[in-house]
Structures are given as C-alpha cells and as structure tokens.
Amino acid sequence: MSINIRLEKPSDIATIHQVTATAFFNAPHTDHTEQFIVDALRDSGALSVSIVAEDSAKIVGHVALSPVTITDGSVDWYGLGPISVIPTEQSKGIGSALMHAALKELNNLNANGCVLLGYPGFYRQFGFEPIEGLVLADVPAEYFQAVLLQGVRPTGAVTYHEAFLAKG
C-alpha cells in the first residue's frame, strides 16, 4: 500500500462526499451529516483546507479544516473535521497521515491553533488535549481538544461555522 496525501481537486468533490458518508455510516455518536458538512463548508467558502488520501489513485480518506470563532476574540484558530477513512482502509495509518498533513497545512496558514471533537486516545499523539477554559457547548471536556501552534492559549466558547448544522 502506497498512500498519496494531497490537496483536494475539483474532480474529487463527489468522491469525497461518498468517502465521508461511507466512513461514518456505522459510526457511533453521529447523526450521519458529515458529508453534508463538508459540502456546505465548501459551498460557503469556509473550507480552508481539504486534503485527500489516495491508494492507487483511489480516494480512501479525507480531512477538512475550517475557521472557528472563540468568544475571547482569539484569531487564526481552525476546526479539524470531519476526518474520514473508509472502513476497509482503517487501522492502516491513513488517518494519521491525514492528521500530519492537516497540521502541516495549519502551519502553512500561520494558524494559532486547532480544535477538534474526537477520541482522546487517538488525537493525543498529535498534541491535542483538552484546554481548561476552552469549551464547546454540550460536549464533554475530554472529547473537545485543542493544539496550540503559536501564541497564547485561548479561553472561551468555540463556535464552528454554520455549515456544521447542514443536514443534507
């Protein structure tokens, strides 16, 4: 298996939608709208970075980055997600490769930091951890994590782009 990580091309859009839907089809703790979120982020111009993972020219994974707002006024913070790997390709390092690529792109954007909602056991290896005082409404603190890339740690409530309300 040779995985190629690259930025999205216009011709990838339909496949990214399908890969995202497939990746979350049997996932717990989801309302199965992740593919619509990616589409809505793209359509609204809020999809700051869109990265795909290919195996033999077939897209098997995707990760999205979009701006978030924080009530303390911190700027240049992004939300990572959704991140998707089709089930037959999971546990092969594709998600990790996408995470490394996303962090590299955040550094290229001169981002101050990134937040995500996810399993602490996986994301800790990339430097993500709960930050005291940085919250996402109605989410247990241990699952809302952040990585500070530069500057000072923010405090306040985080709001994702309205595209995260997309239902289809």
Q: Per residue in 86-144, pLDDT tens?
A: 999 999 999 999 999 999 999 999 999 999 999 888 999 999 999 999 999 999 999 99
Residue 80 DSSP class: E
What was the pLDDT predicted at 30?
A: 73
| pLDDT mean over 31-59 | 94
Question: In the chain, what percentage of residues exceed pLDDT 90?
Answer: 86
Range(s) of the domain holding residue 60: 3-165
What was the pLDDT predicted at 61?
A: 97
Total structural domains in the chain? 1
Q: Which residues contact 117 (CB under 8 A, 6 or more apart)?
A: 81, 136, 139, 143, 144, 145
Task: Provide the CATH number for the domain around residue 145.
Answer: 3.40.630.30
This prediction has a pTM of: 0.94
